[in-house]
Amino acid sequence: MSSEPSPRHSSSTENDSGDIELGQGSRAQGSQIGSQPGTRAGSTISEKAYAKDKVFPIEEPPSAPQFVEGTLQGWLTVCGASLVAMCTFGNIQSFGVYQAYYTQSFLSGNSPSRISWIGSVQLCLQFTVGVFSGKLFDQGYFHSLMIGGSLLLLFSSFMLSLAKPHQFYQALLAQGFGMGIGMGCMFLPALSIMSHYFRKRRAVAMGIVVASGSLGGVIYPIILNKVFPREGLGFPWAVRFIAFINIVFLVIANLIMKPRWPTRKRNPVDMSQIIHDTPYWVTNIGLFLGFWGIFIPYFYLQLFSETHGVDPNFLTWTLPILNAGAVFGRFMPNFLADKYGPLNVIIPSGIISAGMLWALLGVRTIAGVTLFGLVYGFVSGAFLTLASPAVAAFTRSPTLDDIG
């Protein structure tokens, strides 16, 4: 009997077919060696056992969600956001009717400059509250913002209808602060959610939404101008009619709008990137200065036309004409923005808008008011609708959802 030691197969057995089956203790070692067929140990394992043990599942890190442009839910969200825009921007762009009515009748003891504080506070809060609502939107509180903003806007609207003549503070609290905060809770999230569904066509989607705000600016002034002078209806019921319309729009909007990306915890924002992002700051400063003057005709065109002798029968149509021009201005330039970039379109729009404000000083006729309204509405509408895409262009989020 030979005393030569046997090969190291202490934890393996040979079956009838000649294949080597690895034991429990050496299977892991054999699989590691077997994955290197050039080694001597690997060559002793049969082809069957090698094929069985060489494949291992590899756990890959989760990939970013695949972005699908549009979708049915995306277009439903566009419809809902458009209704929100009508209830927010539509009211803002109708303030010229309130300005004229307050100056001539309801708050006649106050100067036009003081009365304009009501609309200015409302407009200011719609945007400044967005600093907080945008952050809450990023944290997943979209529906809470929409419901809370809707309730506050509607409550404040009905409170405005109860305001007494010549009580400036009542109109300021209800229309300026109450409605302004409610609008601010809804408007920016309604725009920001477009980035959940649209990337290449984001500017067009936002253009549709903001154009709907101008459409509200066509409808609401007509209703207000027709109902304000009606005996038995007047100011209270004119405001209530608008509030009832807003109830319908906001209920539908809250039912059909839905965020696409789930709520998730985010790492703290690296403020050093924002602080040193010079183009981002230059863009925001430019938009800030532009918004100082862009709304002047929306507040004063009707009162300006009346003061300068334009036919009184035409005054009802000054703001609808202005906002009709803005409907096209808020939609059509977005096709150019998708092709050439929002910054390359918003800059000339802002320059032309500034020039048109100087041209308004010479307007005295129906034809002049009509021409001014259509042209200024178009270029100012382009400026307003491209502001959000211009800022969103600086986001570094791979899914474009962190732009609130």
Tokens standing for 377? 């509405």
Per-residue model confidence (pLDDT) at position 247: 97
Q: Are 144 and 186 spatial neighbours (Cβ–Cβ below 8 Å)? A: no
Q: Hey, which residues does 14 pair with through a beta bridge?
A: 20
Nearest CA-CA partner of 252 in 174, 182, 190, 160: 190
Q: Which alpha helices (DSSP H) does 10-104 contain, by range?
A: 27-34, 40-43, 47-53, 72-92, 95-101
Tokens standing for 264? 């998730």
Q: What backbone phi and psi angles, to 5 degrees, belong to 21?
A: -105, 125
- Return the SS3 of 395: coil
Q: What is the pLDDT along the chain (404 residues), one digit of tens a residue?
A: 444 444 444 444 445 444 444 444 444 444 444 444 444 444 444 555 544 555 544 444 444 456 666 688 888 999 999 999 999 989 999 999 999 999 999 999 899 999 999 999 999 999 899 889 988 888 888 999 999 999 999 999 999 999 999 999 999 999 999 999 999 999 889 988 887 888 777 767 877 888 898 999 999 999 999 999 988 889 999 999 999 999 999 999 999 998 876 655 555 555 666 667 788 888 888 898 998 889 999 999 999 999 988 888 899 999 999 999 999 998 888 788 878 888 889 999 999 999 999 999 989 899 999 999 999 999 999 998 888 778 777 765 554 444 44
- Return the SS3 of 339: helix
Per-residue model confidence (pLDDT) at position 30: 44
Cα distance between residue 238 and residue 242, in whole Å: 7
Per-residue model confidence (pLDDT) at position 263: 54
DSSP state of 211: H
Per-residue model confidence (pLDDT) at position 277: 73
CB atoms within 10 A of CB 35: 14
Question: Could you identify the residue written with the tokens 């409808």?
Answer: 219
DSSP state of 376: H
Q: Which CATH superfamily is domain 72-392 in?
A: MFS general substrate transporter like domains (1.20.1250.20)
Cα distance between residue 121 and residue 178, in whole Å: 10
**What beta strand segments (E) does 212-358 contain?**
none
- Percentages of the chain per state (helix, strand, coil), in multiples of 5: 70, 0, 30
Q: What backbone phi and psi angles, to 5 degrees, belong to 22?
A: -75, 140
Alpha-carbon distances of 324 from 209, 364, 366, rounded to whole Å? 15, 20, 16
Return the domain boundaries, the chain.
72-392
* H/E element, 361: none
Cα distance between residue 70 and residue 20, in whole Å: 57
Per-residue model confidence (pLDDT) at position 342: 85
pTM listed for this prediction: 0.76
